[in-house]
A = this chain, B = another copy of it.
Amino acid sequence: MKSTFLHAPGDIRVEEAPDPVILAPGDAIVRVTAACVCGSDLWPYRGVRQFGHPISMGHELIGVVEAVGADVTTVKPGDFVISPFSFSDGTCQSCRAGFPSACDHVAFFGSTDSSGLPTVGAQSELARIPMADGSLVVVPEPFDQALVPDLLTLADVMSTGHHAAVSAGVGRGDVVVVVGDGAVGLSGVLAASRLGAERIIAMSRHQDRADLARTFGATDVVAERGDEGIAAIRDLLGGDQADAALECVGTEESMDQAIGAVRGGGRVGYVGVPAGGSRLPIGVLFSRNITVGGGMAPARQYIPELLPDVLSGAIRPGLVFDLELPLDGAAEAYAAMDERRAIKTLLRP
């Protein structure tokens, strides 16, 4: 099969690789209908984080089950499925509590599962999904093929935006600030809107992203950052601050921006993968009673909740994809996102 590898920072190649096969009785093999590039894929691409090379890339896919192991009971060959970006057993305490991304046996694409058996990246023609019963969600068919981008977002970006909003306790009538105008931040805007936020302030200095934020429900856009951004939000709110903020970047600056945007007793939901410098200013959190929650989104938990709204067209999270390429175009997909020519790129094997 064809599969995408990073050989060195900036060096993405789509190459022939062995077809993945069933390695454990809980496995499924999925033929990929669509995959995509995540903002977090850009970290090794940019050399921000050091990894051993080559790296098998991608962690978001939807597709059709080709084969299942002997123990799999909830999916069968021919089923159209969404795979969350993390695999989970569905039975441990964290899974039962609704946090499969903190599963005792959590595993990821392009790595190994908890038994040490290899997984491939999702930017491939085929993928091995361990713990298929705990991981995959079947999409009822038939569905409109135009929904492919929307369905694909449930694998990560929309579920992650939703997690930011849920972790920030966003509810009806809230005033919400969203820090980050990448695909996750934009999904956070959509999620906050879906959860009933009354006012959503998107922090963005890119016209295309600000426009999409408004399409997704943002009522205001603030271009300023840092203390100026915090002051601009106060101005918009007549001197008040937000009830909640979604931190969708993962830097110290973005976390400070989120914390500085909320009132006493405010809530910050964070889903930006904490970059090197990230830290939480406990003194400020303590004195201002700010709650911080979030982390790796429990996508497997959210997909069944969000799927009906995607299938009905109530939400169109797939609008975050503004570039679509064949899998062979993966190198350009990365370059376009790296150079901010694209918000998010969909790949069709």
Residues of A within 8 A of B (CB): 93-94, 97-99, 101-103, 167, 240-241, 243, 263-267, 270, 273-274, 278-280, 282-283, 285-296, 298
* Cβ contacts under 8 Å, A298 to chain B: 265, 289
Q: Is the CB of B94 within 8 A of A263?
A: yes
Q: How far is the CB of A186 from chain B (nearest CB, A)?
A: 21
Q: Is the CB of A294 within 8 A of B283?
A: no
Q: How far is the CB of A63 from chain B (nearest CB, A)?
A: 27
Q: How far is the CB of A213 from chain B (nearest CB, A)?
A: 24
Q: Is the CB of A265 within 8 A of B94?
A: yes
Q: Is the CB of B292 within 8 A of A291?
A: yes
Distance of A274 Cα from B284 Cα, bound (Å): 10
* Cβ contacts under 8 Å, A270 to chain B: 286
Distance of A278 Cα from B264 Cα, bound (Å): 21
Q: How far is the CB of A99 from chain B (nearest CB, A)?
A: 3
Q: Is the CB of B93 within 8 A of A263?
A: yes
The 3 A-B residue pairs with the shortest CB-CB distance, nearest first, are A102-B264, A94-B264, A99-B265
- Which residue in chain B gives the minimum CB-CB distance to A270? B286
Distance of A274 Cα from B280 Cα, bound (Å): 12
- Which residue in chain B gives the minimum CB-CB distance to A283? B274
* Cβ contacts under 8 Å, A241 to chain B: 93
With A291-B167, A291-B291: A265-B296 Cβ-Cβ less than 8 Å = no
Distance of A287 Cα from B278 Cα, bound (Å): 14
Q: Is the CB of B264 within 8 A of A93?
A: yes
Q: Is the CB of B289 within 8 A of A101?
A: yes
* Cβ contacts under 8 Å, A240 to chain B: 93
Distance of A292 Cα from B269 Cα, bound (Å): 11
Q: Is the CB of B295 within 8 A of A293?
A: no
* Cβ contacts under 8 Å, A283 to chain B: 274
Q: Is the CB of A282 within 8 A of B282?
A: no
Distance of A263 Cα from B102 Cα, bound (Å): 8
Distance of A287 Cα from B102 Cα, bound (Å): 6
With A274-B282, A274-B283, A280-B280: A289-B93 Cβ-Cβ less than 8 Å = no
Q: Is the CB of A243 within 8 A of B282?
A: no
- Which residue in chain B gives the minimum CB-CB distance to A301? B265
User: Contact partner of A294 among B99, B264, B274, B286, CB < 8 A?
Assistant: B286
Q: Is the CB of B288 within 8 A of A102?
A: yes
* Cβ contacts under 8 Å, A279 to chain B: 279-280, 282
Distance of A280 Cα from B264 Cα, bound (Å): 19
Q: Is the CB of B293 within 8 A of A292?
A: yes
Distance of A31 Cα from B317 Cα, bound (Å): 62
Q: Is the CB of A289 within 8 A of B102?
A: yes
